[in-house]
Amino acid sequence: MNTIFIAGHARLPSGMAAQNIYETLTITAEIDKKYGVIVAASCTLATQHGKSFVEQLLRGHSLQDGITQPLEAVKIHYLGKAGNALMSALKDLYKQYESHKSTKIIQNI
């Protein structure tokens, strides 16, 4: 298998539909081991449309280039209440990626 699966978490703001189901927002990503590219992504937003939109925003970004571009994409294009939670979850996901990268798990096994 040439990919890894990583999750990032953040607290949701009160008053959101998803907050009635989950206390935290989770972004999951399938990431190419060699290039760090997000192959697929998902999140725990309440609507399928929101989930699909976030996946479109994140897919294709390489985490080897850092997290700035995906964060900017969320900031510019996602104008819902969960924007800050999405960015926090994405930062947490990136932190997990960097942690695994430093332990050589992402290297071809």
pTM value is 0.84
pLDDT at 86 over 90: yes
- Residues present in the chain in total: 109
Q: What pLDDT, on the 0 to 100 scale, is given for residue 19?
A: 47
Tell me: pLDDT of 107 over 60: no
49 within 8 A of 65, measured Cβ to Cβ = no
Provide the residue range defining the domain that includes 63: 3-107
- CA–CA separation, 46 and 74 (whole Å): 17
In this structure, what CATH number is given to the domain that contains residue 37? Answer: 3.90.1010.10
Q: Work out how many domains the chain is built from and give that number.
A: 1
Query: What pLDDT, in 10s, does the model give residues 50-83?
Result: 999 999 999 999 999 999 999 999 999 999 888 9
